[in-house]
Structure 1
Amino acid sequence: MSPLVPILLGLMTTFVVGSAAVTTEIIEPIRASGDEVALIFVPGAFQRAENYREIAKIFQEASNLRMWVALTGGYNRLLVSLAELPGAIDGAINALKQAGMVSENYIGIGHSLGGLMLGQYARNSTLKAIILMGSYVTYGLSNYRIPVLTLAGELDGRVRITKFVDDFENIFGDVSQSKEPIYRTPIVNIKGTNHMQFQSGPTPPTSVTNDLKPDLTDAEAHKTIGQYVNNFATATFSSEASEVRDAQKELENMVLESSKRFQPLKDMKALQAKDNSCPWAITSQQHFGEPHADAFEIKNYILELPMFVKSTPSFIWGVMSVTINNTAFIEFEDDYMRRPDVKQSPKEISLKLKSRDAIFEELSFMPEPEPSCRALNELARDAALNSATDAEKQRYKSRGRPIVFEDDILTTSEDDWNSTPLKTWEDSAGLHVQSVALVTAIDADELRGMHYCRVMAPYRALEWIIIDSLRD
């Protein structure tokens, strides 16, 4: 380790410590007293340490804590790795001690790829807490060893807001029993911010392509992020009881405010699966039974391949009622669980339903025109729009590309339907969606009165409305 070299930056004294590889820049506290903490920054992919200098100063100004900052940088190819990170954190801690820090309240703070690596490293480390900016803990927060603040941008086009839904749902499903998760592992969705507003440097080409236009200026975003970081750090490390209470109250407000934007996602996600049943399949079957949907019950079963391929819907008569049994198969994008930039909603939902003709014949109603699978996609779009927040609806209306529904692809055999996926494509007009249908006559020799559909999930429609439609 080379000797400390003082560098003056305005009124701020900075020390740079480093080796031939990873370096550490120390920014001394601006408070002369108070509980001592340190923020050890781990940069995002292709980001340099100095890109976090400006936001680090804002964090210091927002807090009454005696806050040190260590900016790590110089990673190989500007990509943080688990091979380099332990040495980088140890080097930062040594530099902090050499610069005069006495306490051991070290907080790792990682952006994007840096946060992913930090979340894996910090499970067994000397860090006392971590803050993830546009990033997440790979294997979930429920049993994480130390406190974690997760900051997600509402308009993050790189790490999608949908990536945080499961953790938010698992941790804050019922905080009425205990508020500890709000203070220990808060997940905050920052209104109107995008992926690159957690730093101040140049935007990498991938973010230029994939990130979304923010509603807040960088200055507004940095100020807001600083308040969130301060509340978490104060609630976790302050020795002043009144400051802790105030910070905890702010954390409660932060999570509650975030829940307004997570709720539509939770609602649409809930339509795809519940207790091994697909609620959207039940809604779709009810639509096919209109205007007599209250005349029968529906049971749906989510099946995996090849059981789904072998399944067929059926009528089951009770003493005074009839039940329609139908099935669904839900398909996701490859790597959706591992990659935060991949759509988290189902790629498609395959439904095996009873046709309207079959239902009306079974219940002795007058026949009516058979609906289309396209109509189910329009229902999905409407459900998504109705669930969206006012701000999301306004964005979609003012700068989003619409969903364009095409007429169904009509197949003539079960083999053709099984082998033909839902068609989607994007162009300047928007997202085109084309269902695949198989409709059989009620007097067919084998499959009688079936209506099979490959359709868009309401969750996928909402993900398009709030994220993908906003890209140029």
Structure 2
Amino acid sequence: MSTCVEPTRSTSALHRYRSCASQGTVGPLEIFSNNDKPSGQYIQKRSQLKLWLALVNFDRNLARLEKNIISLAADLEQLGMTRANIFIAGHGEAGISVQRLANRNPQQLSGIILLGSLLQNGTQFEYFGMNVLTVAGDLDGVTRVTQIAQTFKVLSQEVEKNRAMQYKAPMVIVKGINHGSFSNDILQEDMKRYDLTAELPIRKSQRLIARYISLFLSYTIRGSRNKKQRERMSKWFRKTTTFLQPILEMEKMELNRFYQSQWLNNAQIWLSGLGGNDTQFLRVKSYSVEENVGISPDLYIRDNNVRIVYVTLFFYLKRCEYQSDTYSHLAHSPTEIRAFMLSQKRIQSHFYNVTSVRDFTCRDLNYAAFVTALSKVPPEVLKRYYGKHKGAIFHEDIHINNENEWWQRKLLVNTTEHEQHVTAYLYETEVESAGNEVEEGGEGGGFFYCTLLPPSRVMEWIYVDALRNSYNSEINQRFC
């Protein structure tokens, strides 16, 4: 449909535009920020709907922003627009203002559109007062894809209970676009610092984004009667699920909903040095604990015809502390895993006639985390990563003499010119025996405490951090 956009009025606080094709007609209204004018106009021109388009300055003062939008809607109503269908789009941080405004005015709006932005932490889609479309880029360095995965996990859980949620709150990841793709590559300097390099031209990006938004608007306005639209939105959900699956699977392996870690279970088995059939006689469970709780790993034996050694280990996930939702450009995965394990010597002292495969160290476990993460990601992501990354070097463990000092040390991760250097701290105690027998429980000693590299953090390197033109590993330090 051929349309044009002409200004009807301009003030310092508000810019208003209307479609020539919409004069004298009833049509939905889209509200974009001034920075997103090119995208808004492109969507208006390409949409099958007759759209009104309004551009506003997104003021962090919600009361003032709300007043401006209400005034705008009243003026356009005089020109023939109905208030029945009003949508607000927010890009990046403006998406937070959009959500807050929507919460204040659920009866006034039909839906919101988040471009390179996410529903705020702790918000459930099913209880949000209107439909929500989220469009993100896999090369967005400001709203990173690993953060998008966390929000999508919430949506997926809701879809499991109610399939209609995939239509009420669709989430789309557009491959090859970055944060600037939503705003004609116009970003503040601090945002440019974090953004990645887009692979798609701006025009092609706008065309793809417009298609998603147009379908969302049409579906929301016309309801669920259109089977083809539902099928397309179901396809969006499946594609997003497939794309984010490696990230979410790695995170689940690291910490599941029962606060256990299959990753640490595997690490303890490797550390035991047992090989072949011997590993079936070692059973490991791991539990997440709070920082410095003074707990030690446990071991006990059941010998009913078959001797089984049970090990319970503990771990603490160290995270950065962010004060608000405006830090989506920084890594949110754990910075390290503090693992309280048992040494090879301690575990093998409870077995008879076993042969060690090899002696494992914290360094080996960190290398395993790196390789495991690499093995999970799709080929196109690996290609990007290897195009920038120069390699990772895992240095010998630094041995610490006492547990208190070990707690004061952090896993060392330094990045120089896209080359990463990882060094773990190890605290190890001797195996304690009474006579010729090593005791069960904590009395047997043989503690093996490591500062470990979280596989989910490696995922963030692969998908985001390593792709930056200038990657500084100290970016996060003031929050950690």
Query: Do the aligned partners of 1:231 and 1:248 also contact (CA within 8 Å) in 2?
Result: no
Match of 2:340 in 1: 352
Match of 2:92 in 1: 112
Match of 2:321 in 1: 334
Match of 1:26 in 2: 17
Whether 2:203 is the aligned partner of 1:223: answer no
- Cα distance 1:67–1:222, how it changes in 2: closer, same or farther (>3 A)? same
Query: Do the aligned partners of 1:333 and 1:342 also contact (CA within 8 Å) in 2?
Result: no
Q: 1:295 aligns with which of 258, 281, 289?
A: 281
- 1:86-115: per-residue Cα shift (whole Å, max 9, x none)? 123213312322333134200011111111
Distance 1:174 1:130 in 2: 19
Distance 1:17 1:95 in 2: 13
SS of equivalent residue, structure 2 residue 44:
helix
Whether 2:107 is the aligned partner of 1:123: answer no
* Aligned 1:131-146 pairs, distance under 5 A: 131-138=113-120, 139-142=122-125, 143-146=127-130
Match of 1:434 in 2: 423
Q: 1:305 aligns with which of 284, 291, 299?
A: 291
Match of 1:190 in 2: 174
Query: Do the aligned partners of 2:412 and 2:423 also contact (CA within 8 Å) in 1?
Result: yes
Match of 2:8 in 1: 15
Match of 2:137 in 1: 153
Deviation at 1:81, TM superposition (A): 3.5
SS of equivalent residue, structure 1 residue 170:
helix
- 1:250-277: per-residue Cα shift (whole Å, max 9, x none)? 2111121112221111011102212021
Amino acid at match of 2:162: S
Segment drifting more, 126-135 vs 139-148: 139-148
Whether 2:192 is the aligned partner of 1:199: answer no
- Cα distance 1:187–1:17, how it changes in 2: closer, same or farther (>3 A)? same
- Cα distance 1:252–1:32, how it changes in 2: closer, same or farther (>3 A)? farther
Whether 2:26 is the aligned partner of 1:38: answer no
Deviation at 1:30, TM superposition (A): 3.6
- Cα distance 1:266–1:439, how it changes in 2: closer, same or farther (>3 A)? same
The percent identity for this pair of structures is 23
SS of equivalent residue, structure 1 residue 26:
strand
Taking structure 1 as the reference length, what is the TM-score of the superposition?
0.88
Distance 1:367 1:52 in 2: 62
- Cα distance 1:444–1:111, how it changes in 2: closer, same or farther (>3 A)? farther
* Structure 1: gaps (5+ residues): 1-9, 44-48
Q: 2:467 aligns with which of 442, 466, 470?
A: 470
Query: Do the aligned partners of 1:330 and 1:349 also contact (CA within 8 Å) in 2?
Result: yes
Segment drifting more, 150-159 vs 328-337: 328-337
SS of equivalent residue, structure 1 residue 329:
strand
- 1:25-61: per-residue Cα shift (whole Å, max 9, x none)? 22316468987211111x3xxxxx1x32221122123
Deviation at 1:63, TM superposition (A): 2.0
Distance 1:335 1:191 in 2: 28
Distance 1:337 1:362 in 2: 49
Query: Do the aligned partners of 1:408 and 1:436 also contact (CA within 8 Å) in 2?
Result: yes
SS of equivalent residue, structure 1 residue 39:
strand
Amino acid at match of 2:135: L
Q: 1:461 aligns with which of 452, 458, 461?
A: 458
Distance 1:401 1:114 in 2: 36
- 1:268-318: per-residue Cα shift (whole Å, max 9, x none)? 1102212021222111101112313222101111111342xx111121112
Whether 2:299 is the aligned partner of 1:315: answer yes
Query: Do the aligned partners of 1:129 and 1:147 also contact (CA within 8 Å) in 2?
Result: yes
Deviation at 1:429, TM superposition (A): 4.2
Distance 1:393 1:470 in 2: 11
* Aligned 1:242-281 pairs, distance under 5 A: 244-274=226-256, 275-281=258-264
- 1:202-232: per-residue Cα shift (whole Å, max 9, x none)? 3321122110001211111111100110111
Segment drifting more, 442-451 vs 431-440: 442-451
Distance 2:77 2:25 in 1: 17
- Cα distance 1:173–1:386, how it changes in 2: closer, same or farther (>3 A)? farther
Distance 1:337 1:457 in 2: 23
- Cα distance 1:153–1:429, how it changes in 2: closer, same or farther (>3 A)? closer
Query: Do the aligned partners of 1:182 and 1:251 also contact (CA within 8 Å) in 2?
Result: yes
- Cα distance 1:108–1:85, how it changes in 2: closer, same or farther (>3 A)? same
Whether 2:379 is the aligned partner of 1:390: answer yes
Q: 1:399 aligns with which of 381, 384, 388?
A: 388
Distance 1:158 1:184 in 2: 25
Amino acid at match of 2:322: D
Whether 2:216 is the aligned partner of 1:232: answer yes
* Structure 2: gaps (5+ residues): 435-442, 470-480
Query: Do the aligned partners of 1:409 and 1:435 also contact (CA within 8 Å) in 2?
Result: yes
- Cα distance 1:35–1:240, how it changes in 2: closer, same or farther (>3 A)? farther
Segment drifting more, 105-114 vs 424-433: 424-433
- Cα distance 1:392–1:34, how it changes in 2: closer, same or farther (>3 A)? farther
- 1:385-440: per-residue Cα shift (whole Å, max 9, x none)? 11112211111112234333222111121122111111112211422221111122
> What count of residue pairs does the alignment treat as equivalent?
446
SS of equivalent residue, structure 1 residue 283:
helix
Q: 1:373 aligns with which of 341, 353, 362?
A: 362
Amino acid at match of 2:396: D
Amino acid at match of 2:187: T
Distance 1:390 1:201 in 2: 27
Distance 2:83 2:409 in 1: 62
Taking structure 2 as the reference length, what is the TM-score of the superposition?
0.87
The two structures, once aligned, show a CA RMSD in angstroms of 2.3
